[in-house]
């Protein structure tokens, strides 16, 4: 870059977009120059917590994209991510995009081609890929020291009903896979990324729990190395919690409420982060300024997309479903 402040826009000023805007504004040499959201009140609330007023605030996200921004963070409802990411890339912006990107592989391929054509960076916000302890867990599993992965079990729970009632997250037109599609991608992406495996076949069941979208989903899968994986996600629980077990031939690993650990001689041995926890916003800026590695490139969405697609198709048809490559 030329040493001038990076001018960044944030599209979507709900709770997550608000957090991104505040974090980005605290990075030296970064100016949050534009905000976009259908709600003027949401933009004003976010602007009030920034060190300087944005140059542009618009209900139409296309307006800021015409203001010469260097980068944008997309934190709008799920169904708009592809449209807005494509527009941002075509406007010459680097893109940090909240997950999920899309449920459709054709849209993913369109975005992937546009990233390649534009020469811009596009990073997804799968949190664990930016976390030092999860990176350490991945390195240990992929080192081969402990043999191959022999099985995985995932349990995740949270109250996804109360805070989202009446919002776009319960609208199947905007969030077609409900809790599983919108929230559980974090855990699915993490285990596939940490093990470098893919889903091969999936059998799943869902219940909507009185809403219009899947809230409970459970099932089993066979992974690309033949190992089994079970999963159970409960979106109408009373509190957030998770337990993930990754079994290798000679060692077990676990993640309990976002804290990775190895099981050594029957005792828990937590992974230390190994470095300061920068997070997606800081690392995104480092990618632009310093050419830092992108831990969550758009092409990596394909694994979690295919697994999610197969699970939801299995639940809809009652059949075991192949997870396409």
All domains in the chain, ordered by first residue: 6-120 (3.40.50.720), 131-274+298-322 (3.30.360.10)
| Alpha-helix runs per DSSP H in the chain | 15-25, 40-47, 62-65, 81-90, 105-118, 132-142, 178-182, 185-195, 279-290, 301-317
| Alpha-helix runs per DSSP H in 119-248 | 132-142, 178-182, 185-195
Q: Is the pLDDT of residue 192 over 70?
A: yes
Whether the predicted model's global pTM rises above the 0.75 cut: yes
What is the pLDDT at residue 2?
A: 53
Q: Which residues lie closer than 8 Å to 60 by C-beta, 6 or more apart?
A: 36
Calculate mean pLDDT across residues 117-123. 98
Q: Which residues lie closer than 8 Å to 57 by C-beta, 6 or more apart?
A: 34, 35, 36, 40, 43, 44, 47
Closest CA to 271 of 129, 132, 127, 130: 132
pLDDT (tens digit per residue) in 267-284:
999 998 755 567 999 999
Contact 43, 16 (CB under 8 A): no
Contact 100, 181 (CB under 8 A): yes
What is the pLDDT at residue 206?
A: 98
Q: Is the pLDDT of residue 1 over 60?
A: no
Tell me if the bond preceding 100 is cis, omega within 30° of 0: yes
**8-state DSSP, 51:** S
- In this prediction, residue 132 has a pLDDT band, given cuts at 50, 70 and 90, of very high
Q: Is the pLDDT of residue 323 over 70?
A: yes
Q: How far apart are CA 261 and CA 254, in angstroms?
A: 5
Q: Is the pLDDT of residue 3 over 90?
A: no
Q: Is the pLDDT of residue 200 over 80?
A: yes
Q: How far apart are CA 286 and CA 211, in angstroms?
A: 41
What is the pLDDT at residue 274?
A: 57
What is the pLDDT at residue 275?
A: 53
Contact 156, 233 (CB under 8 A): yes
With tokens 């990233």, the residue in question is 115
Q: Is the pLDDT of residue 94 over 90?
A: yes
Q: Find the helix or strand (DSSP H, E) in which 95 lies.
A: strand 94-97
């Amino acid at each position: 870059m030329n040493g001038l402040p990076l001018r960044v826009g944030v599209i979507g000023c709900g709770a997550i977009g608000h957090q991104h805007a505040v974090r980005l504004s605290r990075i030296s040499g970064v100016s949050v120059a534009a905000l976009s959201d259908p709600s003027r009140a949401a933009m004003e609330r976010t602007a009030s917590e920034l060190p300087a007023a944005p140059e542009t605030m618009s209900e139409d996200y296309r307006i800021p994209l015409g203001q010469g921004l260097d980068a944008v963070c997309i934190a709008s409802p799920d169904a708009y991510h592809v449209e807005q990411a494509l527009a941002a890339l075509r406007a010459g912006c680097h893109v940090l995009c909240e997950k999920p990107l899309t449920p459709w592989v054709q849209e993913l391929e369109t975005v992937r081609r546009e990233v390649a054509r534009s020469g811009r960076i596009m990073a997804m916000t799968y949190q664990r890929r930016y976390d030092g302890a999860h990176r350490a867990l991945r390195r240990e599993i992929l080192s081969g020291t402990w043999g191959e992965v022999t099985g995985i079990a995932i349990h995740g729970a949270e109250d996804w009903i109360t805070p989202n009632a009446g919002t776009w997250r319960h609208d199947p037109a905007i969030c077609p896979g409900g809790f599983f599609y919108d929230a559980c991608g974090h855990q699915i992406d993490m285990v596939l990324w940490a093990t470098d495996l893919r889903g091969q076949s999936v059998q799943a069941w869902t219940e909507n729990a009185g809403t219009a979208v899947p809230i409970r989903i459970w099932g089993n899968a066979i992974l690309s190395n033949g190992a089994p994986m079970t999963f159970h996600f409960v979106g109408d629980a009373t509190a957030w919690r998770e337990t993930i077990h990754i079994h290798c031939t000679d060692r077990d690993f676990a993640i309990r409420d976002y804290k990775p650990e190895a099981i050594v001689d029957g005792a828990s041995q937590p992974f230390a982060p190994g470095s300061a926890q920068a997070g997606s916003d800081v690392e995104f800026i480092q990618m632009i300024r310093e050419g830092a590695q992108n831990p969550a490139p758009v092409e990596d969405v394909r694994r979690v997309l295919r697994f999610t697609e197969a699970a939801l198709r299995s639940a809809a048809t009652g059949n075991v479903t192949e997870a396409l490559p």
